[in-house]
Chain A
Amino acid sequence: MPGKLPHMTLQTILPPERTLTAVPGGSKKRVLEFFSTFIAQNTPSLDSQEVFSRLIGRERLGSTGIGNGVAIPHARSPHCKAPIAGFLKLQEPVDFDAIDGEPVDLLFVLLVPEEADETHLSLLAEVANVMNDAGTRTQLRKSESQHELYETLTQAIHRLSDGSSQ
């Protein structure tokens, strides 16, 4: 896509403080609730109830668990000014009704403004690409600290953008 650098976007919308490790699991609902509360505190314009109902509404159409223990919950939100990403690594995997039936322990959450539909799709495709890599998943699972997790993610995103720009 000329004039557009989506990989840059993905990296800029995921600051280190939104990369969370050892998130308590429990259930799919609990995890999404946890993220909604967290993101509302992190980004004042967002309302936790609103984010939660958007994310849960999307899950009702079909699970965002894409297999291999990974889920990519995503939603559009009218209160969202720019795309927002968050990464969660769970303490205990939770049942996510994923495509392969495996419980999920890695979540890449994506919130986008209502008008950014094309960006929404290209960001989603990019996140899916990052999480599709078996090596990245293993490394993410091995990462112990928040810092390590963030480094692994940034490197994976970089590798991908280098690969796709060739």
Chain B
Amino acid sequence: MDSINTLFIFSGSLIALSILASRLSSLFGLPLLVIFLGLGMLAGEDGLLGIEFDDYSLAFIIGHLALAMILLDGGLRTRLKTFRVGFKPALSLATLGVFVTSGVVGVFAMWVFDLNLIQGLLVGAIVGSTDAAAVFSMLSGSGVNINERVSATLEIESGTNDPMAIFLTITLIEVLTGDIGGPLDTLLMFIKQFGLGLLIGLGFGWLSARLLRAMDLAPGLYSLLALALGFCIFGLTSALGGSGFLAIYLAGLMIGNRPGRHLQFILPVHDGLAWLSQIGLFLVLGMLVSPSEMLEYALPGALVALVLIFVARPLAVVLAIKPFFSFRWREITFISWVGLRGAVPIVLAIFPVIGGVENSALYFNVAFFVVLLSLLVQGASLAPVSRWTRVEVPIGVTPNHRGVLGILPENDYEVFVYKVENEALEDVPIRLLRFPSGALISALFRQHAMLHPKGSTQLRLGDELCVIGRTDDLPALNRLFNGNARLKRERAFFGTFTLDGDALMSEVASAYGLTLSPGEQDMSLGEFVSLRVGGHPVVGDDVGWHGIHWVVSAMDANRVTKVGLRLYQ
């Protein structure tokens, strides 16, 4: 009985401490995952609590469970429309990119640790994939809005490259332990891993999404059902020899992209589950390492990490992206820098231990160093690097909170909460607001009290307004609540003047005295800019032409609808 009580006290207090310590992250800019890892180490055998934890098989199970939940959540959050610009480059990074990274790191590890080629490559494969959880949390936590081409590529890459790294790791372990079949068997296994993962993930994910939407359940049960279905898909795929990780990510993608009332119950719970997974995973991993043993790997481990960060990852990104897609060099630089490693390498480093590979401590400790340095060096510098490489795009006001009302079956009306920050709105009576027809202010909160808004009610800075309206009203509402400071920042980025994407190039040229080649006369401005960008434009892309920066400032799917003119000063 005592051991159960101890378990409760330890796990409870560790998780609670981790959550409280997460505040430190925003105070000192220390990456969150490093804090969790540090707490785990403090609790571990060389730390304050001195808990002897070296149950690798338990850590292995916890690792799988946590990764599955993190990938499910990642899929739920990835919008399918970002696939427009991100899918192909991400796929190239997830396959070719992982291959190159693993290879370069592998050869270096072979040299530095005096291993044979296969052992070296195993080190490379273990640290070969970027971590979905780390990338997702760093991107959203850094508070910068990164252009869609880059953010979509990074997100989709991190969700899809784990299967490749897992495949490489398992294959290499089988070679080392002598369980490997011929090359034909390996190829078959490769096809099975990805084919089944893709098929079952998409197929059953689609079915699950339909089921979840059709069911009428108590609110708390939706997320549970989604999780249970996700686990079924993971298990089924793995049992048949496919990649469960790929399948559960795709299932999440399918579920998350079928709109409906159920999503607003599912998403917050899975957000919490993903957090719990990250905290649990990093705590366990922190406890699993023995810092005293780790020391002898410190120098070579750090070298491997540096080679990964400064050589292997940049090389892989350039090779996987530059020849096939039109990315700018600064975008390539940023993507290279955000090759964050997280839980996956550490979980993968447990594979050799379980698989009984000799010298398995080496893999685990090296992976640990790589992850730690990657989080510290790359994670902590994300925001400055995004500014330096100019991949940041200013965003206007969006509602602080929005929720589907769910009264009409087609889910038409939503409630949007805005805070009055725009000085131009101070003292303006509500009836004078340029409000979209069909939307209305249902409540006004001021100084902890709810006021009944009337036409004559004058707004004040700091008021919180609940607006009921439809998605179509959002642009007008955002514009209304957009403060002056934001407008100024947007103007500095997108330019003073905005032209319609539909405007004819011949007319734009005659307005500004620009020279066009014959083929360009009949194009619209949007088409022209798309062409100059090199296809698949995103908001924030700019083209220098005739002493003007032509900046893509609004898009509708793949069509440029607004182009800003930024004049050189």
Contact = CB atoms under 8 A, between A and B. Distances in A.
Nearest to B434: A101
A76 B514 CA distance: 12
Interface in B479-516: 479-480, 482, 484, 487-488, 491, 496-500, 503, 507-508, 510-514
A61 B507 contact: yes
Contacts, number: 77
B292 interface: no
B548 interface: yes
A68 B487 contact: yes
23 contacts: A57-B511, A60-B507, A61-B525, A62-B503, A66-B491, A66-B496, A66-B497, A68-B487, A72-B496, A76-B510, A99-B487, A99-B498, A100-B482, A101-B434, A115-B513, A117-B512, A117-B514, A118-B547, A121-B547, A124-B496, A128-B496, A132-B488, A134-B484
Nearest to A112: B513
A99 B475 CA distance: 11
Contacts of A66: 491, 496-497
Given A61-B500, A124-B567, 4 more contacts: A61-B508, A61-B511, A67-B491, A132-B488
A75 B511 contact: yes
A149 B546 CA distance: 34
Contacts of B476: 101
B469 to A, nearest CB: 15
Nearest to A70: B496
A63 to B, nearest CB: 7
Interface in B536-567: 546-548, 562-563, 567
Interface string B402-431: 000000000000000000000010000000
A114 B514 CA distance: 11
A76 B567 contact: no
A99 B546 CA distance: 24
Contacts of A57: 507, 511
A21 interface: no
A1 B515 CA distance: 23
| Residue among B424, B491, B525, B548 facing the most chain A CB atoms (10 A cut-off) | B491
Question: How many interface residues does chain B have, given as a range?
Answer: 20 to 34
A61 B548 CA distance: 16
B568 interface: yes
B569 interface: yes
Contacts of A89: none
B537 to A, nearest CB: 17
A128 B567 contact: yes
Interface in A142-159: none
B487 A64 contact: no
Contacts of A128: 496, 567
A29 interface: no
Interface string A72-104: 100110000000000000000000000111100
Interface in A41-61: 57-58, 60-61
Contact of B513 (A100, A120, A134): A120
Contacts of B546: 117
Contacts of B569: 125, 129, 164
A62 B514 CA distance: 17
Nearest to A126: B569
Nearest to A117: B513
A61 B501 CA distance: 9
Contacts of A72: 496-497
A125 B567 CA distance: 6
B487 A67 contact: yes
Q: Which of A58, A100, A101, A121 has the most CB of B within 10 A?
A: A100
Contact of A76 (B503, B513, B525): B513
Given A66-B491, A132-B491, A101 B479 contact: yes
Contact of A62 (B482, B497, B547): B497
8 tightest A-B contacts by CB? A62-B499, A117-B513, A125-B567, A128-B496, A61-B503, A62-B500, A61-B499, A101-B479
Contacts of B511: 57-58, 61, 75-76
A114 B513 contact: yes
A75 B508 CA distance: 11
A127 to B, nearest CB: 9
A122 to B, nearest CB: 8
A76 B482 CA distance: 33
Contacts of A120: 512-513
Contacts of B488: 132
A164 B569 CA distance: 10
Contacts of B514: 117
B548 A64 contact: no
Nearest to A54: B511
Nearest to B501: A62
Contacts of A121: 512, 547-548, 567-568
A125 B491 CA distance: 12
A1 B418 CA distance: 45
A142 B363 CA distance: 73
A60 B507 CA distance: 9
A117 B546 CA distance: 9
Contacts of B507: 57, 60-61
A100 B479 contact: yes
Given A60-B503, A62-B500, A76 B487 contact: no
A72 B497 CA distance: 9
A156 B199 CA distance: 66
Nearest to A124: B567
Nearest to B487: A67
A135 to B, nearest CB: 12
A163 B452 CA distance: 48
